[in-house]
Structure 1
Amino acid sequence: MSEPHAGSCRCGLISAEASRAPFWTSYCHCRDCRKQTGAPVMAFVGFRDEDLTWHGEPRSWRAGGVERRFCGYCGSQIGYSDDRLPGEIYLALGFMDEPERYPPALHAFEARRLPFLHIADDLPRYSGFSVER
């Protein structure tokens, strides 16, 4: 590992370090991600579970085969995993210590993008999921 890929919640109680670079970066415009983050769009980075070392124990909420993790102390969004994508975890870009290192490579659920949100880029745009489930 040449440079660490690390993240932490706002209070620092929960942190993680990846031994390899993320395999996925994306924006997501779906309603679930908006509700979870409280933002008009979510940006995230995908890692393999086996590549992450956790410090602290995130809390989680599970519904519909998706587990969303957060810090039980400060409430920071950490990320999510989907039962249909075993062995993968998608961390919120804001959880990463250096989010500028992980620019999103595409837009998922573009069809659900809020009409006032305009992100001027030439990234691929998917009307639904960007990762096959």
Structure 2
Amino acid sequence: MTHHGSCRCGAVRAEAQTAPFWRSYCHCRDCRKQSGAPVMAFVGFREEDLRWTGAAPQTWRNGQVERAFCGQCGSQIAYRDRKLPGEVYLSLGFMDLPEAYPPTLHAFATRALPFLSIADDLPRYDGFSIER
């Protein structure tokens, strides 16, 4: 199965032939600020498995984390963490079939907004959900 993603305007696109190794929600303040949403969801791929097509994403770095977005429509695309070399975490909304990638856990669950209720039995981590 080929996994496809694209920004809102279609200028930035990516595909992978291998399945993602990570799928998660993140409730941290940084992800909320970046996305403008009460929670963010990500799909993790190995950099070597992704092939970017179309326009190159624009990037912005803050500390260890680099965020990617479309320079034309502003869509959130991905993030990379210097402590996780070779890994790219695509925004679930970037995926062309987001329903195919249901999250499997919650990161920073103790920081979830009190009015947001996601009724599931997924594992919940107080901090990062992946070793850094």
> TM-score, normalized by length of structure 2?
0.98
Query: Shift of residue 30 of structure 1?
Result: 0.1
Aligned-residue CA RMSD in angstroms?
0.4
Query: Shift of residue 21 of structure 1?
Result: 0.5
1:6 counterpart residue number? 4
Distance 1:113 1:131 in 2: 18
* Aligned with residue 22 of structure 2, among 11, 21, 24: 24
SS across alignment from 1:33: helix
Contiguous gaps of at least 5 residues in structure 1? none
C-alpha offsets along residues 27-81 of structure 1, whole Å, 9 cap, x if unaligned? 0000000011000000010000000000120000001111000000000000100
2:94 counterpart residue number? 95
SS across alignment from 1:90: strand
1:81 counterpart residue number? 80
Any residues of structure 2 matched to 1:36-115 within 5 Å, and which?
A: 36-55=34-53, 56-115=55-114
SS across alignment from 1:32: helix
Query: Shift of residue 5 of structure 1?
Result: 0.3
Aligned residues: 131
SS across alignment from 2:33: helix
Contiguous gaps of at least 5 residues in structure 2? none
